[in-house]
Structure 1
Amino acid sequence: MKHLILSTDWWTDCDDAVAIRLIANAVKRGEVCLDAVIVNAFLPESVPSILHFMADCGLSHVPAAFDRDATDYRGKPKFQYPLTELAGGAYDDYPAVSPVELLRKTLANANEPITILEIGFPQCLAALIESAPDEISPLDGCALVREKVEHLYIMAGNYANEARGSEHNFNNTGRSARGGAVVCEKWPTRATFLGWEVGHSVITGSHLPADDLLKRLMVWHGSPNGRSSWDPMTAELAIIGDAEAAGYETVRGHVSVDPATGENSFRRDPDGRHEYVKKRLPDEIYAARIDAAL
């Protein structure tokens, strides 16, 4: 069984929630084990809103950690407030474990290879690989990742123009730009990037019944007729674990991120540890596959 760590911004867009539902259903089918959730953007409602949604999806057993310093991301979250009202104070005393602590503990205790899925801002992964040895593990972060992580799947960047791309998860603030630069430079394992150009035209979630909490969340977001599928496509790719089997062509090389602007670029190299994906199938096939799994 594939072991997965999810890192999400749970911020202004609702496709994170679609990805979480997709993962939760894969857990129910016995395809993956979700070992931890990292939330890398923060407002007070982040904690109760995502924990309430995870519980609704059957993931209340999964530990979560929040980057409580990450309050500077641009945009106005919408669905967190009604979800917090539904939670009714149930998570007011949730432990304040840091993302790096939970990541290091999860990796140090892992007996099987871990797949990491990043669908938000990358500063927590950057902090992990720059972390020092501690009481959790004698390994520094880079060595711990090299020993325990099998693959990183990350929704970030835009590769339609390899020389220069711009996308929200890298360029939102200096925090995300610096995090992206560190991850792309120092992350020691293979990494697969799904860019903005892949998911924006694939619309999912429109078919859900009105009383489904995911549907209500999408309505609160302003997407009652479905939403672009950047995050669920990346989640599905991580679950399948094979880009060709998932319907993608891959381009090998090296992703770089400007730490000042968050702009990304790509240099082709058949021996590079990075790859980005390109769709081989019509949008409708990806959408139907994701909708069927919700």
Structure 2
Amino acid sequence: MTPVIILDTDMDTDCDDAGALALAMHCHRQGHIRLGAVICDVLSPWPGAYTRAALNTYGLEDVPVGINCHCPNSAAYAAYIDQLRAKAFPFYNELIARQHGLTPGYIPGLSDAIALYRRVLAASEDHNVIVCAVGLLSLLPALLASAPCEYSPLPGRELVKRKVCELVTMANAPFPEGAEVFNWRMDAAHAAAALADWPTPITVSWYGGDILTSPPDQPPGNPIHDAYRIWHRGKQNLHRPSWDLVATLWAARQHPELFTRKGNACLRLNPSNAHYQWHSPANAHDHACLYPNATSDTITAVIQKLLDQATMTAQVLH
């Protein structure tokens, strides 16, 4: 049975989200997975606009995109965005979306994220959906708390429990404890709530800082390569750590030999300071952490090859 992946991403401040989308699209086109939806979890029109442009460029107009319509950005994330804007940081999602003619009020094919989550889950086989969260976990508590609807009579937590087999979350949280630095920290309250109440196995993917990859050079207009080009502010070396790509590779069940899932533990996150701890109680949850089985060079070569194949696909479509 082909697994269904829901890619949950902020798609806002770092180009490795674009790389993760490229891998997910490639695995979808190769038939390894079905990309059920892409969910953009921060409250902004531009992540969804960019994602729609990228999917359309690669011939995936039928893959739906969900946007955050109701969950305000946390104070920490709002302050971070304000700091970037004060420094004239180039937001690739807005720049590329505008290049593709997508602006607020004219972004066809977007849906409310929670409604889309429920629609895709309800239409999927039981225990066959992998939620790959490479951004903030802001929307997951709302999904768990969602009410029965036209797509399913089940409340959110029961729907997730029935349909999802694994939550893969990218976060800097290796054993045994520490302070998470971005994905959970930027909305620690919702992240803590999601991790505490999520009813399926959770895999934390933290590795990728030494995996430096880049899409192959292409003329302006390719939304994946342009995301890296813009993020790097015109620099020639577009290599970027591949945290989100590692998480997507694992979620897509590709090259599992490169990693070991170590766990049978219980992960707890303090919402006040984003400090996490791994515990191993007798009634352990199925929470686990991903560790590499191979050298950084080996993993880099695998992901780079896939990213090359994924990015070049757009040339075939034009």
Normalising by structure 2, we get a TM-score of 0.83
Which letter does structure 2 place at the counterpart of 1:235?
T
In the alignment, structure 2 segments of 5+ residues that lack a partner are 85-89, 308-318
Given candidates 155, 174, 179, the residue that maps to 1:165 is: 179
8 A Cα contact 1:249 1:280, kept in partner: no
5 Å-filtered alignment, 1:40-51, equals: 40-51=41-52
Indicate yes or no: 2:146 matched with 1:115: no
CA-CA distance at 1:135 after TM superposition: 3.3
Indicate yes or no: 2:221 matched with 1:199: no
Indicate yes or no: 2:147 matched with 1:137: no
8 A Cα contact 1:237 1:246, kept in partner: no
What do the CA deviations read for 1:93-137 (whole angstroms, capped 9, x no partner)?
A: 535632111111111121351111111111211211122223332
Indicate yes or no: 2:69 matched with 1:59: no
Moved more, 226-235 or 258-267: 258-267
Secondary structure at 2:301 match in 1: helix
> May I ask how many residue pairs the two structures share in their alignment?
286
What do the CA deviations read for 1:184-237 (whole angstroms, capped 9, x no partner)?
A: 111111111112xx11111111x6123243222101001743111110000000
Given candidates 271, 292, 303, the residue that maps to 1:259 is: 271
The root-mean-square deviation of aligned C-alpha atoms, in Å, is: 2.2
Q: Which residue of 2 aligns with 1:188?
A: 199
Q: Which residue of 2 aligns with 1:105?
A: 119
- CA distance in structure 1 between the aligned counterparts of 2:36 and 2:117, rounded to whole angstroms: 10
Q: Which residue of 2 aligns with 1:290?
A: 303
- CA distance in structure 2 between the aligned counterparts of 1:12 and 1:117, rounded to whole angstroms: 18
8 A Cα contact 1:53 1:83, kept in partner: no
Moved more, 247-256 or 89-98: 89-98
8 A Cα contact 2:9 2:17, kept in partner: yes
Moved more, 222-231 or 93-102: 93-102
Secondary structure at 1:169 match in 2: coil
8 A Cα contact 2:52 2:109, kept in partner: no
Secondary structure at 2:184 match in 1: helix
Indicate yes or no: 2:21 matched with 1:11: no
Secondary structure at 1:123 match in 2: coil
5 Å-filtered alignment, 1:26-37, equals: 26-37=27-38
Q: Which residue of 2 aligns with 1:89?
A: 102
Secondary structure at 1:61 match in 2: coil
Distance 1:97 1:213, change over 3 A: closer
Moved more, 6-15 or 150-159: 150-159
Moved more, 146-155 or 87-96: 87-96
Secondary structure at 2:111 match in 1: coil
Q: Which residue of 1 aligns with 2:218?
A: 210
Which letter does structure 1 place at the counterpart of 2:193?
V
- CA distance in structure 1 between the aligned counterparts of 2:139 and 2:49, rounded to whole angstroms: 20
Normalising by structure 1, we get a TM-score of 0.89
CA-CA distance at 1:71 after TM superposition: 4.2
Q: Which residue of 1 aligns with 2:313?
A: none
8 A Cα contact 1:4 1:35, kept in partner: yes
Which letter does structure 1 place at the counterpart of 2:125?
N
Moved more, 98-107 or 12-21: 98-107
8 A Cα contact 2:211 2:300, kept in partner: yes
Indicate yes or no: 2:294 matched with 1:281: yes
- CA distance in structure 2 between the aligned counterparts of 1:97 and 1:22, rounded to whole angstroms: 23
CA-CA distance at 1:242 after TM superposition: 7.8
Distance 1:269 1:242, change over 3 A: farther
